[in-house]
Amino acid sequence: MKTRIEPGLVARAAEAAGFGAALSRRQFLLLSAGAVTGLAALNAGCAWGDKAPVVIIDNARGLILADPTRCVGCQRCELACTEFNDGVSQPAMARIKVGRNINFGPEGPSAGVLRMQGAWGNGLFIQDTCRQCPHPVPCATACPENAIKADPTTGARFVDTASCTGCRLCLRACPWNVINFDEQSQKATKCFLCQGQPKCVEACPAAALHYVPWRDLTGEAVPRAAVLTVVPREKANECLECHVGR
């Protein structure tokens, strides 16, 4: 469908923009392109209208905020996590990951589990925590069984183990590498904020972890891994119905 611009529209736009009555060819083309773009945007806005899609998964109420400058690397947070959630002292299964930013060699990798700051690393202990991503949640979108849901009380994204089939697609979809897989139960596990009272925060002796009101942290750090998510066709169709205006 072609968009027709009324004869006087460009002239009025030029006057409003301060170009005056006489337009050069370049100014005319610029204003014409701007008018077409604006009309297209207006049409898109009318298409959304009062039928704009709702957020499928509401944002969480809070999240765990880590301060690497205070972390002493004691890993008590990892122990508290697994002892509370799994009944074992097994840091490898913790939903919070503590690693040290140490690099070797004058060049060294530019990426990895930890983003290096300086050729030799700066020695900081880095706590990786679930960012409780906003919609569309990568791990939930990738799950073919809809096993990752939002807790009705805290809004935290959690794994419904009754629905989880152990396909591990959520692990590959998480940009932050903070989803675990329990080899014994063959189920995925992730941080669910301990019903609003995170045990890792309570156990930290250096006050390097804080439970704070939710805000979007997904754009404040470089993802830990490249992600190639395969979205089931049924979910892709649902997303199209939600995000494409009619």
With respect to residue 243, please indicate whether it lies within any of the assigned structural domains: no
Tell me how far apart the alpha carbons of residues 214 and 235 are, in angstroms, rounded to a whole number. Answer: 26
Tell whether 66 and 43 lie within a shared domain.
no
Burial degree of 20 (CB within 10 A; 0-12, 13-18, 19+): exposed
- Give percent of the chain with pLDDT exceeding 90: 46
pLDDT at position 100 is 79
Model pLDDT, residue 35: 54
In terms of Cα–Cα distance, which of 129, 145, 137 is closest to 58?
137
**Of all helices (H) and strands (E), which one includes residue 21?**
none
Q: Which amino acid is at 51?
A: K
Predicted local distance difference test score (pLDDT) of residue 229: 61
CATH number of the domain that residue 206 is part of: 3.30.70.20
- 181-235 residue pLDDT tens: 999 999 999 999 999 999 999 999 999 999 999 999 988 776 766 665 666 676 6
> Sorting pLDDT into bands at 50, 70 and 90, what band is 140?
very high
104 and 151 fall within a common domain: yes
C-beta of residue 66 within 8 angstroms of C-beta of residue 204: no
In a domain, 22, yes or no: yes
The mean predicted confidence, pLDDT, of the chain is: 77
Percent of the chain with pLDDT over 70: 59
pLDDT at 45: 44
Tell me, yes or no, whether 136 and 175 share the same domain: yes
How is the chain split among helix, strand and coil, in percent rounded to 5?
A: 35, 10, 55
The total number of structural domains in the chain stands at: 2
Average of per-residue pLDDT across 147-156: 95
- The answer to whether position 56 is within a domain reads no
Q: Provide the residue range defining the domain that includes 18.
A: 7-51
Dihedral sign of CA atoms 153, 97, 100, 121 in order: negative
User: What's the rounded Cα separation, in Å, for the pair 203 and 7?
Assistant: 70
Q: Is residue 57 part of a domain?
A: no
Higher pLDDT among residues 163 and 106, named by residue: 163
- pLDDT by residue (tens digit) across 40-91? 444 444 444 444 444 568 899 999 999 988 999 999 999 999 999 999 988 9
Say yes or no: 32 and 131 in one domain. no
pLDDT at position 48 is 42
Global confidence as pTM: 0.66
Burial (CB < 10 A; 0-12, 13-18, 19+), residue 25, is exposed
Residues 74 and 119 grouped into a single domain: yes
